Structure 1
Amino acid sequence: MFSFQRKGLGPPTLLLSLLLLEFWEAGSGQLHYSVPEEAKHGTFVGRIAQDLGLELAELVPRLFRVASKGRADLLEVNLQNGVLFVNSRIDREELCGRSAECGIHLEVIVDRPLQVFHVEVEVKDINDNPPVFSLREQRLLISESKQVDSRFPLEGASDADIGENALLTYRLSQNDFFSLESSTNNKQTKRLSLLLKKSLDREKTPELNLLLTATDGGKPDLTGTVQLFVRVLDVNDNDPEFDQSDYKVRLTENADKGTLVIRLNATDRDEGVNGEVTYSLISIKPNGRFLFTLDKNHGEVRVNGTLDYEENKFFEIEVQATDKGNPPMAGHCTVWVEILDTNDNSPEVTVTSLSLPVRENTQPSTVIALISVSDPDSGVNGQVTCSLTPHVPFKIVSTFKNYYSLVLDSTLDREKVSAYDLVVTARDGGSPSLWATASVSVEVADVNDNAPAFAQPEYTVFVKENNPPGCHIFTVSARDADAQENALVSYSLVERRVGERALSSYVSVHAESGKVYALQPLDHEELELLQFQVSARDAGVPPLGSNVTLQVFVLDENDNAPMQLASRAGGSGGAVSELVPRSVGAGHVVTKVRAVDADSGYNAWLSYELQPAAGGARSPFRVGLYTGEISTTRALDEADAPLQRLLVLVKDHGEPALTATATVLVSLVESGQALKASSRASAGAAGPKVDLVDVNVYLIIAICAVSSLLVLTLLLYTAFRCSASPTEVACKPGKATLVCSSAVGSWSYSQQRRERVCSGEGPPKTDLMAFSPSLPPGLNREDEGERQEAGSNHPGQVSFLQIPPIQVVFLKALKI
C-alpha cells in the first residue's frame, strides 16, 4: 500500500492521497483502492483495467461497465486508458457518517464472456468539518458559596470527522476565576467542566462572559466557539446528587412509545424548597432529542419515538437535576442507552445484468443474471440465503458474500418450453425468519434446429389427362416447429429430366403456398406417371430442408377412337377382301378384323359388331364380339349373293364410346376357284423371291420360340409371386395403385410405361391388367366362349393366363 501527499496546496487537495493494494485477497477476487474525500473531479484513483488484467482494446467490445449500489456517479472509468477517477464530490460524512470504516463497493462487469470483479475504494477522511457546539451560548448559574475546585459540566462540541480530525482540545478565554478540566470516561468520551480556581463574590463580580474555543486535531486545524454566560447566585450550598454519575440501559429497537427506559433519582441535602428537585434533559446524542421524554417531577425517562438499530446503536442522554433553592443548584448524570437489534428488516433482492433472451442452444453453466442480496439487520438476523424456483433448468451459484449468479443448469428446448418465470427467494436467519422475492422472466430464443417436416414421405395424385394449362393439382404442406423466420417455409421443385424435357416444363410449385400446378395439358398416352420431389426449406441461418415425393398418375380419358390395322388381303378403299368356298360349313373362320386404340383400360377395350345387311336380309356371317373373327353362321347355299359386303363396327368402352368401321368384302366361289386363287396368290408371293421363304420360316420359328419362352417365364414368375405373397398386386419396388373398376372387371397399373415388361430385377416394366368378366344375361355359350378368348384380340396383347375364378390376365407388351 502506498500513499502520496502534496504540500503547499489549498485545503481541498492538501491531504490528497492514493492507496493502491496491488494484490487479490485469497479467494475473494477483490481489488482495493483509496481516495480522500472532497477530491476534485478527475482525481486519479487507480489503473483498474491494468490491475484486473484486462486489455484496453477489449473494454468497449466487452461492454466494460462499473456499477455501484447507492451512489453510482461518484467514481467513473475512462475507457480509453482504463483509469478509475473521481467523477463527483465525495463527502465521507454524508456517505458513512461517523463510521470508522468507509468505502465504496464497485461491481466491474464485462461481457463475452461475462465476468464480475469486486472493487473496494476506501474513502479517507480529511479535516473538512470544524467543531460545532449544539448551542450558540451556554448559561451557568453558580452560587457564590461554591468552593474552590468545584466543577461545572459543560456541553462539549462535536466534530463530524473521525480519528485525529475529530480529536478536540478546548481552551478558555483568559479570566481569574475559571479554568477548563477535561477527562475521559469509560466510553472514551471527553467530559468538559469548568473548574473554579478562585472563590466567587457576587457583589464584586455578578456575571462573567467567557469564550470557549474547541480545536480539532486536523492539519490545518479547525475551531469552533461558544459563549459562556456565568451568573453568580447567592447561597444554596448543596447540589442535587444522583445515585450514579453514569447509568447503562439496554433497550430493543422498535420499543413501544411510552416504554420506561429508566427511573432516575437525585437527592438534595438541603431542606425545604432548596431540597425539592426537578429533572430536565440537557442533551441527547446523537440527534435524539425527540426520541425520549423525561418526567420533570419523577425522573422517569420514556421512549417517545421509533428506535431503529440500523440508524443508531446507542444514545447518550445528559440529565440535570435542579433544586428549588434560591438560587437553584443542579446535579448531572449520563444515561447510556444501548439499542438491541431485532429482525425487523426483510432481505432485499436485486437482479442486474440480465443476459436475455437466452438462446436454446446455450451451453450449461452459462451465467444468465447477477443477483445481490442485503439485510441491514445484524448477526444472524442479517445472514441471508438464496433459493430458486424448483424444477427449472437453472440454479443459483454463490460468487461472493451476498452476491450470486443465475446459471443455466441443463439444456433448453424452446419447442417444449418457450419462457420460464423464475422466483428468487432471499431468507434471513432471524426467528421468525423474514424473506423477500424477486421475479425473473427468462425468454428462450429460437435457433434453427428443426427442419420442415411433411405429414408423410410421399403423396399419390391422380390427374385426368387433357387438363387445362396452369390447373392446380395438389398442395404440399410442411410444418416447422421453430419460430419466426426459422419457421418460414418456402417450396421449390427438385429439378430433374423427364425424358428429354425438364421437370419444370411440366409442373411448378408456388414458393409460399406449396400449391402444385400443371403447366401444360398432360397426355396419358405420352406420360402415364410423373414422379418428382418438392423441397421445403426454412429461412433460418443456415437453412434446413426436407423433400417429399409426389407420384402424379395421369388418368386416361377416351380421347382416341379405334383404328383398323392393315390386313394381309387388300381391297379398294381400305376394305378387306376374302374368297370363301360355298362348300364351307357353319363356324368357318373367314377372316379377322384387327383394330387398336391408343387409350388404355376400358377406353382401349374394343368390341366388334356386324351391321345389318341392306334390305334386312339375314347375313350368313357373324363377328366375334371381342375377337373380331368373321365366321359363318350356317352352310352357304346358291341363294347367297356371290359378293357379300360386311360392315364391322369397332367400338371402345369409353364414356362416351368412340367407334370406327371396317369393310370386309367376301366373295363366294366354288371350291376349285378358291384353290386356284389361293395358288396364284401363293405363286405371286413367291415369284422371284423364293429364297425368302426359308428365311421367313426360320424367322417365324425364332419368333415363336422367343414368344413361348417369354410366356413360360411370365407364367413361372407369376406363380412364384403368387405363392410367395398372394396379397401383392404389382411388382416391387413401388406401390400398386387402383385406377378404376366396373362391372366388367378391375384394372391396375404399374408405375412405368405400358410398353415395358415387368421383371424380377429392378423396377416394374409393364402394365399388368386383370379383370373378371361379368357375362350379361342373354349371351349364348358360343358368345361366352368368344369372351373367354378376348385376350388374344385385345390391342397390344401377347398372351393371357387363365386364373380362377375366370380371371384373365393381359400383358400389354407391344402395340401391334
Structure 2
Amino acid sequence: MHSLRGGPEVRQCLLLSCLLLAAWGTGSGQLHYSVPEEAKHGTFVGRIAQDLGLELAELVPRLFRVASKERGDLLEVNVQNGILFVNSRIDREELCGRSAECGIHLEVIVDRPLQVFHVEVEVRDINDNPPLFPMAVKTIRFPESRVLDSRFPLEGASDADIGVNALLSYKLSPSEFFFLDIQTNDEQSQSLFLVLGKSLDREENAEVNLFLVATDGGKPELTGTAQILIQVLDVNDNEPTFPQSIYKVQLLENTANGTLVIKLNASDTDEGSNGEIVYALSSEMSSTIQTKFKIDPTSGEIRTKGKLDYEEKKSYDIHVIASDKGTPEMSGHCKISVKLVDTNDNAPQISITSLSLPVQEDAPLGTVIALISVSDRDSGENGQVTCSLTPHVPFRLVSTFKNYYSLVLDSALDRETTPGYEVVVTARDGGAPALWATASVSVEVADVNDNAPAFAQAEYTVFVKENNPPGAHIFTVSATDADAQENARVTYSLVERRVGERALSSYVSVHAQSGRVHALQPLDHEELELLRFQVSARDAGEPALGGQVTLQVFVLDDNDNAPALLGPEAGVQAAGVSQLLWRSVGAGHVVTKVRAVDADSGYNAWLSYELQPEAGGARSPFRVGLYTGEISTTRALDEADAPRQRLLVLVKDHGEPALTATATVLLSLVDSGQAPKAPSRSRALVDAAGREASLLDVNVYLIVAICAVSSLLVLTLLLYVALRCSAASPTEGACGPGKPVLVCSSAVGSWSYSQQRRHRVCSGEGPPKADLMAFSPSLPQGPDSAEERQQPSESEYLGKKQDHFPLPIHNNGQHIRTGMKE
C-alpha cells in the first residue's frame, strides 16, 4: 500500500498502519485494509488470500472471487498470488461524499465448499480538493452612511475533503476600511463577517477591492481565493435587521408540501419606501435548496416546496436577504438552519445471492443454501433490521456479519414427502410502525435412491387352466417406487430356481418393463399343480434397490384324460373277459367288478358305470353299480338264459365334454352239476401269466386301500374337530363355509386311487395339510340290501357317501382352502 504524496516517512507510516489494520482485522474475524484515495492502478492493498488462511493453489479450483455492491471494479484480486490491489481510480468524495467514514465492503466467495468472508477496505482522504467559494467575484454595496463596526455576512468556502483536510482558515487582504471577523458556532461551522473599521466616503473611495483567501489544514495545504468588490453607495443609510442572525428549525422528513417552516420578521428604522422590506432567498444558495423551499416576499414566510428526504440530505442552510425599497436599497441577512428528523419511511431491502440449488435430500445439516443480505436506508432504530423465515421449514438463518445471513439446512429432507419448499425471508425494521419486506427462495429437493420398489402384496395367487397356449399371459406384476426419474424406473426379472429337473425360466417369463408374466409352454395339471416362484423388481438408481413378490400359480384341471381300465379288462375290450357263473345263484349276487381310474381330478375324475343294452333288446339279468362298477344279478338265473352272456360296460367321467372307456365281460353260465371246462383256479379265461399278474395287482390295491382308509379316518377326525372349534369361535383366517364343489370321486364301495396330488387344506389355523383321496371298500353281500348298495342315486352318493370324498374347494380371495364337511 503506497501513498501518492509525502516523503518516505509518510509512506512508512502508512504502510505500518495498514499492516496493523490487516492484522487486527484477521484476528477479529473480518479483514480490514486501508488505501488512500487516488491511488494508482496496481497499488498493493493486502495479501487477502494469506490473511484469510487460503492456499494459493485453491483459489482457481474453488472459484475464488470478490464481489462488491459499490463499484465492483475499484479493487481486484490477483488469483495467482492472492494480492488485493487497486484496479481503477478511487475518488473518496465521489464514493462517500462528506461522510466521516468511507469504506468499500467486499464479499470474498469461494465454492466447493461454499465460504463467504467479509473484507472492509477503508478509503483514506488525501488533500486533493482546494477550498472553493460560491462566487469568484462578489459585489457588495456599502452606503457611505454605514456606521463603524457595521457587519456584512460573507459566504465561506467549502472543501470536499474531510477532517483536517477540510478544516479551513480565512485571511483577508490588508485594507484600511475593512477587517474579517470569524465566528464559530456550536456546530463547528464558521460564520464570516466583513466588518467596517473606518467610515467610507464615496467621493474619496467609490470602490474597494478585497481578496478573501481560504486555506485548508492538509499537508500540503491548498488555498482558494474570492474577490470582494465593495461599491460605496450614497443615500439610504439604514438597513433591515433581523432579531436573530441564525434560526434553527427541525422538520420531519415526511412533512407535507407547503408546510410553514418559519415566519421571518425583519425591521427597518427608515420611513416610507426606505422602510418597506422585501424578502428573498439568496441567489448564492444551491439550486437544490431553491427547489425544496420558497419564501413569500411580503410576509417573510418560508414554506416547503417539494418532498424532503432525510436519506437524501439531512440538513439545509437557507440564506435570506431582506431588502428595503430605498435608493439605494439596503439589505439585511439571516440564516435558517433546517435539520430533518428521520421517519420510518423506507422498508428493508433483501438481496439473495449464491444459490446452491437443488439440494440433495441426503444433504448434511448445516449445508449453506443461499447468502442473504438486508439493508434499510433509515437510521437509528428505523434502520435496525431483523430477519425471520417461514415457519415449519427445515432451514434456518445464521448471521455471518452485521446484516448478512446464510440460509442453512436445519433438519433432514425427504423428497418423497416434500419435493420442494417456498422459503420466504421476512426483514422487519425497528420503526414504529415497523416496515417489512419479503423475498422468496424456491428450494427444490433433489432425489436420491432411498426407496426400494414395493409391491402392493407380498404374495399373489393365480389360477391358470391347463393346456394353455404357449406364451399366454397369466398375470401382471406391478411395483411402485416413491423415488423419481431413474431412481423410480423399475425393471422386473425372475428369481431363477429349479422346478424338478427343469429351470423355472423354461416354464414362465416376465417382461422386464411391463411386468407381464407369460407361460412359455402348455401347463399340465397332472404334471404340475402348483408353480411357486418369485419375481424381483429393481430400480435404476445408484446403488440399485430391489424388492420381491411371490406368485402361486395353480394349474386348474381340464378334462383331457379318458378313464383307464385296471386289471384284465384294460387290454381285452374287444375279445372280452370270460367268467364262469353258476346258474343257481340268486338275485343280487356280485359276479365281477370293473375297475377304472381317471388321471384328471374333481368332476373330471368322477367315474360312473353303465351297462349297455343288448342288440336284441332283451332284458339282461345283470346290472352294474353306477359308481361301484360291480356287476351283479338282478334275478335268479334260469334255463331260458343263454349259456354265454356278453356284457358291454361303458365307463364315463363327469367332465365337459365327458370322456369314456368300454369294458367287455363274457359270462359262461354253468349248471351246478356240470364240471367247469376251464381250470377252477381262475375265474377269467386268460393265461396263467395274466392270472398271476391280476392277483398281484389285486393284492397291491388291497394294501393301498387299507392304508388309505386308515389315514382318511384319522385325517377326517382331526379336521372334524378343527372345523367344530372354528365354527364355535371363528377367528381371522379360518375357513368359512362355502358352496361345496366336488373335487374328485371314484367308485363308491370300492377302493381306487386316481393320482398322487397335494392340495392346500385350511382347518382354521396351522399349516396346510395333504388331502389323501381314499374310498371305503366293498360292503358285504346281502340279498335284502344289494339293490340299495349297488344302485345308489347321485343325490345319495353325494349325501351319504361324501365323507369318503376329497374335500370341497372354497375360493377365498388369494388362497385355496379346503375343509371336511361336518
- For the superposition of Structure 1 and Structure 2, which TM-score range results when normalised by the shorter chain? 0.7 to 0.9
C-alpha deviation, 1:8, in angstroms: 8.1
Residue 575 of structure 1 corresponds to 576
Q: How many angstroms does 1:285 deviate by?
A: 6.6
The partner residue of 1:5 within 3, 6, 19 is 3
The Cα shift of 1:700 comes to: 9.4
Q: 1:99 Cα deviation (Å)?
A: 0.4
Q: How does 1:173-188 map to 2 (within 5 A)?
A: 182-188=182-188
2:99 is aligned to: 99
Q: Report Cα offsets for 1:689-736 as digits up to 9, x if no partner.
A: xxx99xx99x9999967864564344224323431354889xxxx999
After alignment, is 801-810 or 573-582 more displaced? Answer: 801-810
Could you say which residue in structure 2 is the equivalent of 1:774? none
Deviation at residue 552 of structure 1 after TM alignment: 1.0
Q: Secondary structure at the match of 2:610?
A: strand
Q: How does 1:222-261 map to 2 (within 5 A)?
A: 222-234=222-234, 236-261=236-261
Partner residue, 1:417: 418
Question: Structure 1 pair 479/788, CA: closer, same or farther in 2 (3 Å)?
Answer: farther
Partner of 2:167: 167
Alpha-carbon shift at residue 684 of structure 1 (Å): 13
**Structure 1 Cα separation of the partners of residues 382 and 571 of structure 2:** 122
In 1, Cα distance between equivalents of 2:319 and 2:759: 122
Match of 1:754 in 2: 756
Is 1:720 aligned to residue 724 of structure 2?
no
1:191 shift after superposition? 3.2
Q: Does the aligned pair in 1 maintain the 2:3–2:36 contact within 8 Å? A: no
Structure 1 residues 205 and 769, CA, compared in 2 at 3 Å: closer, same or farther?
farther
Aligned residues: 778
Q: 1:310 to 1:757 in 2, by over 3 A?
A: closer
SS in 1 for 2:804: strand
* Cα distance, 1:284–1:260 mapped onto 2, change above 3 Å: farther
C-alpha distance in structure 2 between counterparts of 1:597 and 1:404, whole Å: 86
Amino acid at match of 1:19: C
The one-letter amino acid paired with 2:665 is V
Residues 770 and 807 of structure 1 are in contact (CA less than 8 Å); yes or no, is this contact kept in structure 2? no
**Residue aligning to 2:129:** 129
Question: Distance in 1 between the 2:652 and 2:194 partners?
Answer: 146
What residue in structure 2 maps to residue 477 of structure 1? 478
8 A contact 1:285–1:316 mirrored in 2: no
Shift of 1:803: 9.7
Instruction: Measure how far apart 1:100 and its partner are.
Output: 0.4
Partners of 2:45 and 2:226 lie apart in 1 by: 40
Going from structure 1 to structure 2, the CA distance change for 1:478 and 1:324 (only over 3 Å counts) comes to: same
CA distance in 2, matches of 1:554, 1:181: 123
**Counterpart residue number, 2:442:** 441
Find the counterpart in structure 1 of residue 781 from structure 2. none
Kindly state the Cα deviation for residue 391 of structure 1 after the two structures are TM-superposed.
3.8
1:477–1:261: structure 2 CA closer, same or farther, 3 Å change rule? Answer: same
* CA shift in 2, pair 1:493/1:687, >3 Å: closer
Long gaps (5+) in structure 2: 728-732, 746-754, 776-783, 809-822
Q: Aligned equivalents of 2:265 and 2:228: distance in 1?
A: 28
Counterparts of 2:801 and 2:601 in 1: how far apart (Å)?
Answer: 24
1:498 to partner: Cα distance: 1.3
Equivalent in the alignment of 1:536: 537
1:133 and 1:667 map into 2 onto residues whose CA distance is: 159
Shift of 1:551: 1.0
Alpha-carbon separation, structure 1, partners of 2:664 and 2:703: 34
Determine what percentage of the aligned residue pairs are the same residue. Answer: 68
The residue that corresponds to 1:299 in the other structure is 300
CA distance in 1, matches of 2:768, 2:172: 126
1:615 maps to 616
3-state SS of the aligned residue for 1:258? coil
Change in Cα spacing, 1:146 to 1:764, as seen in structure 2 (3 Å) is closer
Change (3 A) 1:69 1:785: farther
Superposed CA deviations along residues 543-602 of structure 1, whole A, max 9, x for unmatched, are: 222211111111111112222234189869563222223333323333222222222221
Say whether 1:809 aligns with 2:805: yes
Q: Which deviations, in whole Å up to 9, do the C-alpha atoms of 1:373-392 show, x marking residues without a partner?
A: 22222222222233333344
Q: Deviations over 1:623-655 (max 9, x none)?
A: 222222222222233332232222221211111
| Corresponding letter in the other structure for 2:154 | L
Q: Tell me the distance in 2 between the aligned counterparts of 1:526 and 1:806.
A: 27
CA 1:654/1:803 → structure 2, altered by over 3 Å: closer, same or farther? Answer: closer
Aligned 1:440-519 pairs, distance under 5 A:
440-519=441-520
Aligned mates of 2:667, 2:569 — CA distance in 1: 14
Moved more, 270-279 or 372-381: 270-279
CA 1:152–1:448 in structure 2 vs 1: closer, same or farther (change >3 Å)? Answer: same
**Structure 2 equivalent of residue 588 of structure 1:** 589
Q: Calculate the aligned-residue CA RMSD, in Å.
A: 4.4
Question: How many Å apart are 1:41 and its aligned residue?
Answer: 4.2
Task: Find the aligned partners of 2:682 and 2:773 in 1 and give their Cα distance.
Answer: 40
Q: Secondary structure at the match of 2:98?
A: coil
Q: Is the contact between residue 766 and residue 811 of structure 1 (CA under 8 Å) also seen in structure 2? A: no
- Residue deviations 1:57-103 (CA, integer Å, cap 9, x gap): 44455554444334444334444433333344433222211000011
* Higher deviation after alignment, 396-405 or 114-123: 396-405
Where does structure 1 lack aligned partners over 5 or more consecutive residues?
A: 772-779, 791-800
Deviations 1:226-246 (A, max 9, x none): 443332223544443332222
Q: Could you tell me how far 1:110 is from its partner in structure 2?
A: 4.0
Task: Give the whole-Å Cα distance in 2 for the aligned partners of 1:307 and 1:158.
Answer: 23
The one-letter amino acid paired with 1:509 is: V
Contact 1:371-1:404 at 8 Å conserved across structures: yes
1:15-164 pair list within 5 angstroms? 19-20=18-19, 21-23=21-23, 29-146=29-146, 151-164=151-164
Aligned equivalents of 2:116, 2:704: Cα separation in 1? 89
CA contact (8 A) 1:156 1:191 kept: yes
* TM-aligned CA deviation for residue 331 of structure 1: 3.1
Q: Is the 8 A contact 1:571 1:577 kept in 2?
A: no
Q: Is the 8 A contact 2:75 2:88 kept in 1?
A: yes
The residue identity in structure 2 corresponding to 1:627 is: T
Whole-angstrom CA distance in 2 between matches of 1:805 and 1:645: 31
What is the TM-score with the length of structure 2 in the denominator? 0.82
- The question of 1:313 aligning with 2:309 is answered no
Deviations 1:349-370 (A, max 9, x none): 3333333333333444544333
Moved more, 205-214 or 467-476: 205-214
One-letter amino acid of the counterpart of residue 460, structure 1: T
Q: 1:631 to 1:551 in 2, by over 3 A?
A: same
> Retained in 2: the 8 A contact 1:15–1:126?
no
Q: Is the partner of 1:381 in helix, strand or coil?
A: helix
Partner secondary structure for residue 248 of structure 2? strand
Alpha-carbon separation, structure 2, partners of 1:570 and 1:74:
114
Query: Paired residue for 1:189?
Result: 189
Secondary structure of the residue aligned to 1:677 is coil
Task: Say whether the 8 Å CA contact 1:563–1:595 is kept in structure 2.
Answer: yes
Checking the alignment, whether the CA contact within 8 Å between 1:581 and 1:674 is kept in structure 2 is no
1:290 is matched with: 291
Conservation of the 8 A alpha-carbon contact between 1:768 and 1:811: no
Deviation of 1:664 (Å): 1.8
* CA deviation after TM superposition for structure 1 residue 608, in Å: 1.5
Amino acid at match of 2:33: Y
- Separation of aligned partners in 2, 1:216 and 1:131: 7
Q: Give the superposition deviation at 1:28.
A: 6.7
Q: List per-residue Cα deviations over 1:31-69 (Å, max 9, x = no partner).
A: 211222333444432222322223344445555444433
For structure 1, which segment, 380-389 or 110-119, has the greater mean C-alpha deviation from structure 2 after superposition?
110-119
Question: Residue type matched to 2:319 in 1?
Answer: E
For each residue in 1:592-617, what CA deviation from the matched residue of structure 2 results, as whole angstroms up to 9, or x when unmatched?
A: 22222222221122212121122222
Secondary structure at the aligned position of 2:289 is classed as coil
Question: C-alpha deviations, 1:655-700, integer Å up to 9, x for none?
Answer: 1111121222222234466657344659999999xxx99xx99x99
Structure 1 residues 461 and 701: alpha-carbon distance in aligned structure 2, compared to 1, 3 A threshold: closer
Whole-angstrom CA distance in 2 between matches of 1:434 and 1:28: 32
Q: After the TM superposition, which of the residue ranges 755-764 and 195-204 deviates more from structure 2?
A: 755-764
Q: Aligned residue for 1:776?
A: none
Q: Residue 553 in 1 paired to residue 554 in 2? A: yes
Map of 2:651 onto structure 1: 650
SS of alignment partner, residue 19 of structure 1: helix
Q: In 1, are the aligned partners of 2:646 and 2:664 still within 8 Å (CA)?
A: yes
